[in-house]
Amino acid sequence: MPTINLPNPDRSISPYTLSGDPIPFVKFKATDFPRIAYSAAHVVADPLAINDPWLTPAIDWDTTLKFRHRMWDLGLGVAEAMETAQRGMGLTWTEAQELIRRSQAEAKTRDDSLIAYGAGTDHLAPGPDVTIDDIIRAYDEQVGFVEAQGGRVILMASRALAAAAKSPDDYARVYGHVLSSVKQPVIMHWLGEMFDPALQGYWGDIDHDKAMDTCLDVIAANADKVNGIKISLLSAEKEINMRRRLPANVKMYTGDDFNYAELIAGDTEGYSHALLGIFDAIAPAASAGLAALGEGNTHKFFDILEPTVPLSRHIFAAPTRFYKTGVVFLAYLNGLQDHFQMIGGQQSTRSVQHLAELFRLADKARVLADPDLATARMQAVLQVNGVPA
């Protein structure tokens, strides 16, 4: 197995020998899994575009779309144009529309493509003059676009609503309007402030338990228009509590990148489906684990997925909103893209120490598909960051 010199927290450099034994890429169908599983997929930047990366997104469409086919080949669905794609964090609504158009066209070329699309209000900048009616119109525009393409909506949280709402009643009004008009049941998304600080106090209260009451009231009032809800609060306890209070026909999709294995496995009172950013980075492991669960082999499910949890907790460590850097870095290490560049220049949001620990944990989780390639690429990143070989 290859060996590489990696930096340590005390600034020393020491050799690390990879363990090898990567989880193989094996094709599955979504029907092989006992849970619905979406991977929130990233977009691949175009490193040769003539642009200002902080200001103008440039996307490598061919590689981005090829990555979606990889998810489908593994039996995973694609949650498109979400935070993992840097939605509202480099990817504007203009680029998101093109991404949705292109992904929907690719999905139509296969009979096994599970996909849903984020619709929110990110083209509406929050501000003191923004009204609830403005927010409703913004949601209508994006939901209408997704449905015009024939897509299922993932109803994203709204920064503008978080800024403008004066009480939980404003949330009930906005969501009640949007849900009453959708063509097919949506997946709602409650994104916590650890992922986006602008969403602090969503549903009208900074106390998550009180906010949950409001969210559940909205779902109960519109249960026939809600396929499920994804919550991303990084708390297994809160997710389980909410899961047990959902109407019978409404699914829980875990967005908990810290505790997904136990939440997907479930308990005697239920389980969570998945809509996870980490599944982008650990897709073969996620696929193999879900297949094992489908075979009734819970021990194998945990044997595969539990080693990925420390990696995920590292990638999603605070500031959690920078997790996308780790996701893209793993795609680079695994040869799924030829560079470590991101739209908005966000490859710079994590330190070389963070990336070195990510490399160690990815090896231990068996998600470095080609240890020799991953080592060579890690070495190149270390070199450009001044770490001696």
Q: pLDDT per residue over 14-37, tens digit each?
A: 999 999 899 999 999 999 999 999
Residue-wise pLDDT for 95-123, tens only, equals 999 999 999 999 999 999 999 999 999 99
Rg (CA), the chain: 20
Give backbone dihedrals phi and psi of 379, rounded to 5 degrees, phi first.
Answer: -65, -40
| Overall average pLDDT of the 186-191 stretch | 98
Q: Which of 224, 263, 220, 274 lies closest to 245, judged by CA?
A: 220
Q: Is the pLDDT of residue 389 over 90?
A: no
**pLDDT of 20:** 80
* Per-residue confidence band for 191, with pLDDT thresholds at 50, 70 and 90: very high
**pLDDT of 1:** 87
- How does DSSP classify residue 167? S
Give the Cα separation of 304 and 261 in Å (integer): 10
Report the top-level CATH class of 34-320: alpha beta
**pLDDT of 341:** 97
Sign of CA dihedral 59, 60, 62, 64: negative
As a whole number, the mean pLDDT across the chain is: 97
Q: What is the pTM of this model?
A: 0.97
| Overall average pLDDT of the 350-354 stretch | 97
Asked whether the beta carbons of 278 and 308 are under 8 A apart, the reply is: yes
Residue-wise pLDDT for 147-188, tens only, equals 999 999 999 999 999 999 999 999 999 999 999 999 999 999
DSSP string, 212-254: HHHHHHHHHHTGGGEEEEEEESS-HHHHHHHHHHS-TT-EEEE
